Amino acid sequence: MVEAFRNFIGVRWVAGESGRLFDDTNPADASDVIGRFPLSGTGDVDAAVAAARAALPRWRAMPAPARGEILFRAGALLAERKEIVARLMTREMGKVVREARGDVQEAIDQAYLSGGEGRRLHGQTAPCELPNKLGYTVRVPVGVCALITPWNFPVAIPAWKAFPALICGNTVVLKPAEDAPACASKFVEVLAEAGVPEGVVNLAHGRGEEAGAALVSHAGVDLVSFTGSREVGAAVAAECGRTLKNVSLELGGKNAAIVMPDADLELAADGVLWGAFGTTGQRCTATSRLLAHERIAAAFVKRLVKRAEALVVGNGLDARVEVGPLVNREQLSRVERMVKAAVRQGARVATGGRALAAGEHRRGHFYAPTLLTSVTPRMRLFREEVFGPVLAVTTFRDYDEAVALHNDCEYGLSSAIYTRDVNVAHRAARDLEAGITYVNGPTIGAEVQFPFGGVKNTGNGHREAGQSALDIFSEWKTVYVDFSGRLQRAQIDTARVVGGGAAKQP
């Protein structure tokens, strides 16, 4: 019998108000239904926001170190259940189980990083211009935070958002993607068991256009943190602008790896393959473009083709498998359309370029690891995010052309360059328009202690992870303490020395 899951509101698991459900299926085997989940509507969102708002005064008043202790417990519980959650993740959204373990580990790391901030959350002090006066700053919570998360990192990204939000004293409502609701339920289950008080964490399943839209427009929500497509992100930003909500967006990427003629080509092949086909290319940091110097391009592509054709595609729970399925039928169709369009425009298929639908692949959404050569900047494939196992290859003559090709893109999330020349490496770190630059490494592999995010249409300027995440989920408050015992007027009661004498006030 298929399990029916519920929303988490206040302190209880509750059925959706409408009783409508949707199926969560295994992308490697569409006949495998993981569970049925509520199609939440406005009433469910109202209840979740009300619970979060009711819990806010008590949670924000709890000392931050005590909040941190709860996050430490959540991290420990995730560590204990790492294998269970990882295997559920693979079954639910398809990434191979080795990668799924890494996804859970990111959440564990974020729990400990954010928990430690409970004993920091540093403010600033500066000298005041008047005697017997103290000035300092503190972080205060924003309020109720709506967290709208994608399916490709179904535990790590909720952790990236929820843990910094919680340590800052906010309460949250999580709306996960429809393709990964079971992982979100496990995540919230861990937080509840770790001791998060009633109403501090709430979970509302459902579609973006219903539950997600209701959250974004809700008058009781103070901040929206969204990860997803550029198009939806723009709509979220517009709605938040209308109501003056705080909003943080992490959107698309069209990341490129540059391979210079002096590069270690075996190392570059390792990195490009992992960047292009890890998580079946379904990462916002995936290596979607390869910019190869014309002197080494042919030999390098030949090396990549040989290795790509050796990759094992299948169910990610099989230890032999290196590339899993695409998340759903719609995404498979999108990849097929984009590859066909590129070929019509003049690109050449070096390997792959087809769906896999026979034998062990017949029940899932599989696509062969694909390399396309002769890709030019005028092609959609050069400019638009694919979110699939497709690598577009473009050649260049020199460093300046490589940088120009890299930067000829509306996105700017991650970038990579392979070179043995330290001067070129540092020039690239300066010149590449991206929030992240790797030298002699793939475009994927961010670490939680550093800021994550990009420039241009990749987002709206915020950075997740690291201490920079605290700037999303807190507001600065300045405190002045005057212990002079009399009225002092800043900028008026100050005497400044000018040219050796006291300046008179105007």
Active-site annotation, residues:
284
Partnered with residue 35 across adjacent β-strands are: 24
Structure tokens at 440: 């002699």
Query: Cβ(207)–Cβ(234) under 8 Å?
Result: no
How many CA atoms within 13 Å lie on the side-chain side of 460? 21
Compute the distance between CA of residue 276 and CA of residue 389 in angstroms, rounded to an integer: 6
Helix segments in 207-296, DSSP class H: 213-216, 230-243, 265-277
Determine the 3-state secondary structure of 59 from DSSP: helix
Helix segments in 30-96, DSSP class H: 42-61, 64-80, 82-93
Structure tokens at 431: 């010149």
Q: 211-227 b/e with 16+ CB inside 10 Å = b?
A: bbbbbbbbebbbbbbbb
Partnered with residue 259 across adjacent β-strands are: 292, 418
Q: In one letter, which amino acid is 201? A: V
Query: Cβ(444)–Cβ(457) under 8 Å?
Result: no
Looking at residue 197, the DSSP 8-state letter turns out to be P
Query: Cβ(233)–Cβ(226) under 8 Å?
Result: yes
β 29-38/21-26 pair status? antiparallel
Angle between helices 265-277 and 297-309 (to 10 degrees): 50
Q: In one letter, which amino acid is 272? A: V
Query: Cβ(233)–Cβ(284) under 8 Å?
Result: no
